[in-house]
């Protein structure tokens, strides 16, 4: 690898292993895997996913749907409260492929019912406790209003209830993640029961990577939409969703300064590359990444007692131990495992694989 500036390195083998693990799990539990492509955002990685008999995906924006539609995907859920200002783009998409939308208020339903040009499926976004978006699961007045209108609609086809239990990201243990997952699917099953007599079928779609990675009970769930599992990152590792060996990306950063007195290394690689997402270690200190070494066709496990302690726009400051720093010289290239790969990918917009291929993103 001829690295001269911050470069996002992708380990394709880890990626394939991660996809296979989740595809096998979905098959085992008879779930449809509709992976969220907002993490990797890449047409080429999407093609790898296709090889696991996956033909439907999730995206987080209309523009991302356009990109993946152009990459040959024909069944896409836009898992974001529908933005009515983008109706024209959606009408262009629904002419060609199957698009599923998310609705969480009657205003958007009425707008779509009036302005959609093709019959389109939608999920009702349910808030099972994350409190970011979605209708509170017990706000039956709001749910009823949409479902009543659905019966008269020739444009909108109700598919089912969808949630993103993002509260798992704040969980302190695997047990807590499983509890959130369990509560969440219980709620969705309750809603399904409540309304199924009026609608021939109601699907249940759940999304977060921690639940999908850790849980083994998916009672009543039809579809899972994890995204981060293809690359993983330190946040998922900390939550227990993956082992550190599963993390498939690292940011290659040139060393520009070495401070032996402080045991600190300055690398070219900052907030505009990694994003400013951080985690808190057991001593209460922020960290923005772990450090790995590049080997011929992969990267090492994290270096002991070594982490990114701060980030400026282009600088990363790595805190390490005397032993490691004694081996580092200016011009070396270190790898940084990101805290949140979705944001790092979004900042970098390209990957480099170990066989020298550059993969673009949306």
Question: What's the min distance (Å) between Cβ of 35 and a copy of itself?
Answer: 15
* Integer Rg of the chain from CA: 22
Interacting residue with a copy of itself among 80, 218, 229, 299 (CB under 8 A): 80
Pairwise CA distance, residues 307 & 68, whole Å: 35
Residue with tokens 């579809």: 223
Q: Between 86 and 176, whose beta carbon lies closer to a copy of itself?
A: 86
Contacts with a copy of itself in 136-175 (CB under 8 A)? 136, 166
Residue with tokens 């999920």: 123
Pairwise CA distance, residues 170 & 342, whole Å: 17
Question: What's the min distance (Å) between Cβ of 116 and a copy of itself?
Answer: 15
Q: Does 132 bind a copy of itself (CB under 8 A)?
A: yes
Q: Between 31 and 337, whose beta carbon lies closer to a copy of itself?
A: 337
Q: Does 263 bind a copy of itself (CB under 8 A)?
A: no
Interacting residue with a copy of itself among 56, 71, 133, 298 (CB under 8 A): 133
Question: What's the min distance (Å) between Cβ of 159 and a copy of itself?
Answer: 19
Contacts with a copy of itself in 273-332 (CB under 8 A)? 275-277, 310, 312-315, 317, 329-331
Stretch touching a copy of itself by CB under 8 A, among 19-27, 44-52, 75-83, 151-159: 75-83
Stretch touching a copy of itself by CB under 8 A, among 190-198, 239-247, 268-276, 300-308: 268-276
What is the CB neighbour count within 10 angstroms for residue 19? 21
What is the CB neighbour count within 10 angstroms for residue 182? 14
Q: Does 129 bind a copy of itself (CB under 8 A)?
A: no
Best CA proximity match to 240, nearest among 164, 182, 175, 308: 175
Interacting residue with a copy of itself among 75, 86, 176, 183 (CB under 8 A): 86
What is the CB neighbour count within 10 angstroms for residue 282? 5
Best CA proximity match to 165, nearest among 228, 215, 209: 209
204 contacts 189 by C-beta, under 8 angstroms: yes
Q: Does 257 bind a copy of itself (CB under 8 A)?
A: yes
Backbone angles phi, psi at 35, to 5 degrees: -60, 145
Question: What's the min distance (Å) between Cβ of 350 and a copy of itself?
Answer: 13
Interacting residue with a copy of itself among 22, 54, 112, 347 (CB under 8 A): 347
Q: Does 70 bind a copy of itself (CB under 8 A)?
A: no
The helix (run of H) or strand (run of E) holding residue 188 is helix 174-196
Interacting residue with a copy of itself among 82, 122, 229, 324 (CB under 8 A): 82
Q: Between 105 and 150, whose beta carbon lies closer to a copy of itself?
A: 105
Q: Does 333 bind a copy of itself (CB under 8 A)?
A: yes
Backbone angles phi, psi at 158, to 5 degrees: -75, 120
102 contacts 80 by C-beta, under 8 angstroms: yes
Stretch touching a copy of itself by CB under 8 A, among 44-52, 58-66, 181-189, 242-250: 58-66
150 contacts 124 by C-beta, under 8 angstroms: no
Pairwise CA distance, residues 103 & 122, whole Å: 7
Best CA proximity match to 39, nearest among 8, 70, 6: 8
How many residues bind to a copy of itself according to rule CB under 8 A? 54
Question: What's the min distance (Å) between Cβ of 181 and a copy of itself?
Answer: 19
* Structure token pair of residue 273: 């590359």
| Terminal Cα distance for the chain, rounded | 24
Q: Does 113 bind a copy of itself (CB under 8 A)?
A: no
58 contacts 76 by C-beta, under 8 angstroms: yes
Backbone angles phi, psi at 183, to 5 degrees: -60, -40
Interacting residue with a copy of itself among 42, 77, 100, 108 (CB under 8 A): 108
Question: What's the min distance (Å) between Cβ of 26 and a copy of itself?
Answer: 23
What is the CB neighbour count within 10 angstroms for residue 313? 8
Task: Give contact residues for a copy of itself (rule: CB under 8 A).
Answer: 3-5, 38, 60-63, 80-86, 89, 104-105, 107-108, 111, 131-133, 136, 166, 254, 256-259, 261-262, 266, 268, 271-272, 275-277, 310, 312-315, 317, 329-331, 333, 342-343, 346-347
């Amino acid at each position: 690898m001829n690295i001269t500036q911050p470069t996002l390195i992708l380990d394709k083998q880890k990626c394939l292993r991660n996809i296979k693990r989740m595809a096998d799990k979905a098959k085992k539990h008879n779930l449809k895997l509709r992976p969220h492509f907002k993490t990797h955002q890449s047409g080429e990685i999407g093609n790898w996913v296709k090889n696991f008999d996956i033909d439907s995906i999730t995206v987080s924006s209309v523009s991302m749907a356009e990109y993946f539609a152009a990459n040959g995907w024909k069944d896409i859920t836009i898992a974001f409260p529908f933005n009515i200002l983008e109706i024209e783009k959606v009408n262009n998409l629904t002419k060609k492929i199957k698009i599923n939308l998310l609705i969480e208020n009657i205003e958007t339903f009425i707008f779509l019912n009036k302005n959609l040009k093709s019959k389109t499926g939608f999920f009702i976004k349910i808030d099972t406790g994350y409190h970011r978006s979605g209708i509170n699961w017990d706000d039956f007045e709001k749910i009823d209003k949409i479902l009543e209108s659905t019966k008269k609609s020739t444009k909108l086809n109700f598919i089912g209830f969808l949630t993103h239990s993002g509260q798992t990201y704040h969980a302190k243990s695997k047990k807590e993640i499983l509890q959130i997952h369990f509560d969440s699917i219980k709620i969705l099953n309750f809603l399904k029961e409540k309304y199924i007599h009026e609608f021939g079928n109601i699907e249940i779609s759940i999304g977060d990577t921690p639940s999908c990675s850790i849980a083994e009970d998916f009672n009543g769930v039809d579809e899972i939409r994890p995204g981060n599992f293809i690359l993983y990152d330190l946040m998922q590792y900390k939550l227990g969703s993956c082992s550190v060996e599963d993390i498939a990306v690292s940011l290659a950063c040139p060393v520009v300064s070495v401070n032996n007195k402080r045991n600190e290394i300055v690398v070219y690689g900052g907030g505009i590359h990694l994003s400013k997402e951080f985690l808190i270690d057991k001593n209460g200190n922020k960290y923005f990444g772990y450090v790995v070494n590049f080997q011929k066709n992969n990267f090492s496990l994290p270096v002991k007692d070594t982490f990114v302690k701060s980030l400026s726009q282009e600088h990363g400051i790595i805190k390490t131990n005397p032993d490691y720093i004694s081996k580092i010289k200016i011009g070396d290239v270190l790898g940084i495992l990101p805290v949140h790969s979705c944001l790092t990918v979004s900042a970098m917009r390209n990957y480099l694989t170990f066989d020298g291929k550059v993969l673009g993103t949306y």
